[in-house]
Structure 1
Amino acid sequence: MKRLLPFFLCLGIILFWSSCREDFEFSPSTGNLEFERDTVYLDTVFTNIGSSTYNLKVYNRSDEDIVIPTIQLENGVGSFYRMNVDGTTGLPGAQEGKFFENVELLANDSLFIFIETTIDIETLSSSDTQFLYTDRILFDSGNNQQDVDLVTLVKDAMFIFPSRDENTGIIETLTFDVDGDGTPDETTLQGRFLETDELTFTNEKPYVIYGYAAVGDGQTLTMEPGVRVHFHADSGIIVTDGGTLNINGDLSTNPEVLENEVILEGDRLEPLFTDVPGQWGTIWLFNGSMNNTINYATIKNATIGVLSEGNQDEANDKLTITNSQIYNSSAFGILGRATSIAGENVVINNSGQSSFAGTFGGKYNFTHCTIANYWNSSFRQFPSVLLNDFTVDENNTVFTNDLTEANFNNCIIYGNDNPEFLLEDEGAVFNFKFNNCLLRFDNSTLAGTGNYVFSDGMFYEGNIFNVDPDFEGPFDNLMRIGQDSGANGIGSPDFLISPDILGNARTSPPDAGAYISTTFED
């Protein structure tokens, strides 16, 4: 009982004062509001796609409770912006989110204004592909009026999306031969096949893809230099049986900036999403697709950057990828399954599992590539490079397939884990070789056993182990190497490819990896 006496005493005092207190008396605002900032920049948006929500804090620094007679958008009901003031949407009807009356603000207190926008660029300009849209938030009127500017860059775009049934609301899904028996199979992948006039992507406008844009039998999807492709969540490109993908980026006239490259990334343009992994699905080179090429491209923030399946015994490689970068994949940078891939001047980094995985056998040849993994967002199960020749079904039955070749020449294979390559074989044919590479493998238990006999010239020749590659900033995907790199001059002239990924000539003996070494600026 003694412990409860202080509680009841405090409660009685609170009730006494609250019963005696008169209602708040609010004085009109005198134009002395203070703002968190004088301009709210809403990051770039695509036409007709809603922005993120931005906020503005408004302060009453005075010792008086005030009322703001009006808060409104200068462009009125025609404004593309909409507001929420401390949880309220303002007047109903056309003025909702545009006009607010008698907003109360206590002494030495603040309120939040939340701002969003959805802009139709066609109502702003019929010719521009981007437009700077502005408005102002007006506080009060007359001599007491104050304002905060709103600024948004809106871009026009080409939109590719599946149809939706008006009656059922069901979104169109892809139908193609999944199991190779010649009979089309209905899948659960939302998307549609590209029309003939959609098979060439140009750099006139960015492309925004919802669902999977599919390339059908006998079709070739071509992406020209400077193309920008943005994928919504669970979206991507799928090249089905008989289809081909050609990404034809080019080296910029400024070798330090790959502005003519093709960039494939998510559709969230805010800086917060610049390096967020797993924003979209994958580029899926399905079994039966052929002669796929990727040159001067950056593929970032996918679940799997490139997924290539099947056709390992075809005369031409299933995928040839050159002078390209793959970053921030939540699972794999490149995942091959019983397929054939040739890569030159390729950089892969920051993958949730492996940066490159050649699984269920196949044929793989990488020359002057930097395959690294400095993933630090979560635990990863696999190293930078994973090779195996088997798969396991739902009944735990193991199936094997020959790894006919896996050659890594003048490459860097490194990361923030150890070891950074894993070789798992279950079958009779498991052919691999590392030539003149900088490798991270500092494991006394595994070294000298199984596939890790580094003195065996059939599998390892001219390699350097566990010497710092001196990357410029690997956690930020800055993968150039410095003057102190362990990769400097260790490459073999027999595998020399010139120029490097930035167009710089290689000399002999070459540096390993996709870049020649450079001196970093402070």
Structure 2
Amino acid sequence: MFRYVVFILIVFASLYSCDDDIFETTPSTGQLTFSKDTVFLDTVFTNISSSTRTFKVYNKSSNHISIPSVRLSRGEQSFYRLNVNGEPGKSFENIGILPRDSIYIFVEATIDFEKVNDPLYVDEVIFDQGSNEQGVKLVTLVQDAYFLFPQRDAQGIKEKIVLGIDNQGEEITVEGFYLEGNTTWTSEKPYVIYGYVGVNKGNELTIEKGAHIYFHENSGLLVEKNGTLKINGTLDDKVIFEGDRLEPFYENIAGQWGTIWLRAGSKDHMINHAIIKNNIIGVLMDSVSGSNDPTLRIQNTEIYNTSNFGLFGRATHISGSNLVIGNNGQSSIACTLGGTYDFTHATFANFWSGGIREFPAVLVNNFQISTEADGSESIIFNDLLAANFTNCIIEGNQNIEFLMQENEQAGFEFNFANNLLRFTDPGGNFSNNPLYDFEDVSRYQNNILNGEADFKDVNENQLFIGAASDVISNANVPAAQKVPFDILGVNRVTSPDMGAYQHIIFEE
């Protein structure tokens, strides 16, 4: 019986392996149909491979047909590549399709911008020829760009940046390189970054309005001691930082690249009219520079879709206004290990849906837990000189969206004035904590507790406020006069709303 079954299996296998012999084939007659008449590949950078796109070719007849030829119109010179029935190439012959069946065609492209006459690169997959010829168009937008990446030495080892020493005395490094001297990036072409690009000690990187910076996986920007970052976007020409995956699927995916890291001792940073999205930490600001002025001034800036923190300060001095930070895997803003923080007309709205958040939208503390080489833990503490939130919205999808953590061995000064605050404590865990005594006018003035923000669409990071919002006309006027225009350039002097936006009437 076993031998009989094996014999039957062998017969079936031989039949399927020889289908071209057992079915009589007829040439195609120009009656093929396609799942798409045009295949649009995602925008690509010059000489970087696109994602793969597919379409199907259908044989709707009752005959087993053979397509005499399948080829790219531009031939071997085409920047597109095909895969037909598992075979890569740019031209194919005698492609069979069973009756009422179909085959997949896979398409990719790697395009040299300098060798094309138009950034819209077009080709066509041609099926058959003469009167039976049919085609599917291929369209890709290609961008020229500046590519910045670490070089390799004679042994093939990539450049590295040393970040510090670990508990075992080993160097902590990342693949990266330093810019030479003071540098300016413009909007002439996008910049594509591989590894970490560094601003060396004492140097300055200036990024002009309209510049677009793309980061590859495990990449980022860091600024060393006494170095400075200046981002000079405008309302109409923002500076944009995002990952280098251009497919629509990746448009709002968190964690695609590292961070903008302003390291300890760096100074005089200015970020104005920027969009920072889809990375691990939006901006990481370490330590004060020794000046009484803010180490980082950040204005009119949006930070979205970070897998960890949006804006993360450690023992530093940050001043911010017209900020919108949301959809963050941990806190939208973390003011940690003390320091000085001053935020006016900011919207911190964390409706993260990618998992469980450990921290609220706003985290403030004056200490840090450090793990020693032997595995033991120690606490480092530092004075919180100020954490001032004025005319802000602090909102999210958790009961408690701001958390104050005080170590009594260091100072802990904070103030909330004219804010919308999300804080419900059904378990009563904070009922006896003086940090949350909302009747204490020395720390809390004119706040709205658990009101309605009326955001347009939190899932799409549309954090504009509508006509039903409780924050309308409830901001502190003198504070608003210091930030007279909202993030969209709307005047807010006479009747200011809380948050980064003046309210609008949503269209149904």
The equivalent residue for 1:142 is 130
Query: How far has the Cα of 1:106 moved from its partner?
Result: 0.6
Query: How far has the Cα of 1:379 moved from its partner?
Result: 1.3
Moved more, 8-17 or 308-317: 8-17
Contact kept, 8 Å, 2:69 with 2:95, in 1: the verdict is yes
Q: Does 1:423 align with 2:408?
A: no
Which of 233, 237, 245 is the aligned partner of 2:217?
Answer: 233
1:194-250 deviation per Cα after TM superposition (whole angstroms, max 9, x unaligned): 1237x1011111111111111112211001111110011111110001100000001
The equivalent residue for 1:174 is 161
The equivalent residue for 1:309 is 286
Matched AA of 1:245: L
Partner Cα distance (2:393, 2:225) in 1: 34
Q: Does 1:478 align with 2:478?
A: no
Moved more, 288-297 or 418-427: 418-427
The equivalent residue for 1:400 is 381
Partner Cα distance (1:17, 1:323) in 2: 69
Classify 1:226/1:448 alpha carbon distance in 2 versus 1 (closer, same or farther; 3 Å).
Answer: same
Matched AA of 1:440: R
The equivalent residue for 2:242 is 265
Which of 80, 92, 106 is the aligned partner of 1:100?
Answer: 92
Contact kept, 8 Å, 2:56 with 2:102, in 1: the verdict is yes
1:148-167 deviation per Cα after TM superposition (whole angstroms, max 9, x unaligned): 000001000111111023x5
Q: Does 1:342 align with 2:319?
A: yes
1:36-115 pair list within 5 angstroms: 36-89=35-88, 97-115=89-107
Q: Does 1:443 align with 2:425?
A: yes
The equivalent residue for 2:471 is 487
Q: Secondary structure at the match of 1:369?
A: strand
Classify 1:19/1:368 alpha carbon distance in 2 versus 1 (closer, same or farther; 3 Å).
Answer: closer
Contact kept, 8 Å, 1:448 with 1:454, in 2: the verdict is no
Matched AA of 2:390: N
Query: How far has the Cα of 1:513 moved from its partner?
Result: 0.1
Query: How far has the Cα of 1:504 moved from its partner?
Result: 0.3
The equivalent residue for 1:321 is 298
Classify 1:312/1:441 alpha carbon distance in 2 versus 1 (closer, same or farther; 3 Å).
Answer: farther
Which of 111, 115, 118 is the aligned partner of 1:123?
Answer: 115
Matched AA of 2:47: N
Q: Secondary structure at the match of 1:196?
A: coil
Classify 1:287/1:225 alpha carbon distance in 2 versus 1 (closer, same or farther; 3 Å).
Answer: same
Contact kept, 8 Å, 1:447 with 1:454, in 2: the verdict is no
Query: How far has the Cα of 1:175 moved from its partner?
Result: 4.0
The equivalent residue for 1:151 is 139
Query: How far has the Cα of 1:103 moved from its partner?
Result: 1.0
Q: Secondary structure at the match of 2:349?
A: strand
Partner Cα distance (1:245, 1:109) in 2: 59
Q: Secondary structure at the match of 1:486?
A: coil
Partner Cα distance (1:204, 1:387) in 2: 40
Matched AA of 2:156: G
Query: How far has the Cα of 1:312 moved from its partner?
Result: 6.8
Partner Cα distance (1:225, 1:18) in 2: 65
Partner Cα distance (2:195, 2:388) in 1: 35
Q: Does 1:281 align with 2:262?
A: no
Matched AA of 2:32: L
The equivalent residue for 1:189 is 174
Moved more, 130-139 or 511-520: 130-139
Query: How far has the Cα of 1:449 moved from its partner?
Result: 2.5
Matched AA of 1:438: L
Q: Secondary structure at the match of 1:246?
A: strand
Unaligned runs of 5+ in 1: 90-96, 180-184, 253-259
Partner Cα distance (1:133, 1:41) in 2: 10
The equivalent residue for 1:461 is 445
Contact kept, 8 Å, 1:312 with 1:363, in 2: the verdict is no
Matched AA of 1:404: L
The equivalent residue for 1:244 is 228
Q: Does 1:512 align with 2:498?
A: yes
1:461-515 deviation per Cα after TM superposition (whole angstroms, max 9, x unaligned): 1100111100011110001100110111111113112100000000344210000
Partner Cα distance (2:95, 2:12) in 1: 26
The equivalent residue for 1:332 is 309
The equivalent residue for 2:277 is 300
Matched AA of 1:403: L
1:93-123 deviation per Cα after TM superposition (whole angstroms, max 9, x unaligned): xxxx101111111111111111111111111
Contact kept, 8 Å, 2:309 with 2:330, in 1: the verdict is yes
1:173-203 deviation per Cα after TM superposition (whole angstroms, max 9, x unaligned): 0147x47xxxxx9642111111237x10111
Partner Cα distance (2:186, 2:109) in 1: 28
Q: Does 1:211 align with 2:192?
A: no
Matched AA of 2:207: M
Contact kept, 8 Å, 1:174 with 1:186, in 2: the verdict is no
Unaligned runs of 5+ in 2: none
Classify 1:164/1:12 alpha carbon distance in 2 versus 1 (closer, same or farther; 3 Å).
Answer: closer
CA RMSD of aligned residues (A): 2.2
Contact kept, 8 Å, 1:134 with 1:151, in 2: the verdict is yes
Q: Does 1:503 align with 2:489?
A: yes
1:285-319 deviation per Cα after TM superposition (whole angstroms, max 9, x unaligned): 00010000000000010110000000175211111
Q: Secondary structure at the match of 1:506?
A: coil
Query: How far has the Cα of 1:19 moved from its partner?
Result: 8.7
Matched AA of 2:159: E
Query: How far has the Cα of 1:16 moved from its partner?
Result: 8.5
Classify 1:12/1:363 alpha carbon distance in 2 versus 1 (closer, same or farther; 3 Å).
Answer: same
Classify 1:489/1:145 alpha carbon distance in 2 versus 1 (closer, same or farther; 3 Å).
Answer: same
Contact kept, 8 Å, 1:202 with 1:227, in 2: the verdict is yes
Query: How far has the Cα of 1:8 moved from its partner?
Result: 12
Q: Secondary structure at the match of 2:230?
A: strand
Q: Secondary structure at the match of 1:264?
A: strand
Which of 382, 385, 391 is the aligned partner of 2:359?
Answer: 382
Classify 1:17/1:265 alpha carbon distance in 2 versus 1 (closer, same or farther; 3 Å).
Answer: closer
1:247-293 deviation per Cα after TM superposition (whole angstroms, max 9, x unaligned): 000122xxxxxxx0101111111111111111110000000100000
Classify 1:448/1:456 alpha carbon distance in 2 versus 1 (closer, same or farther; 3 Å).
Answer: farther
Which of 334, 338, 356 is the aligned partner of 1:357?
Answer: 334
Contact kept, 8 Å, 2:176 with 2:195, in 1: the verdict is yes
Classify 1:18/1:225 alpha carbon distance in 2 versus 1 (closer, same or farther; 3 Å).
Answer: closer
Partner Cα distance (1:8, 1:141) in 2: 49
Contact kept, 8 Å, 2:313 with 2:336, in 1: the verdict is yes
Partner Cα distance (2:44, 2:14) in 1: 52
Matched AA of 2:493: T
1:427-452 deviation per Cα after TM superposition (whole angstroms, max 9, x unaligned): 33111111000010011414543211
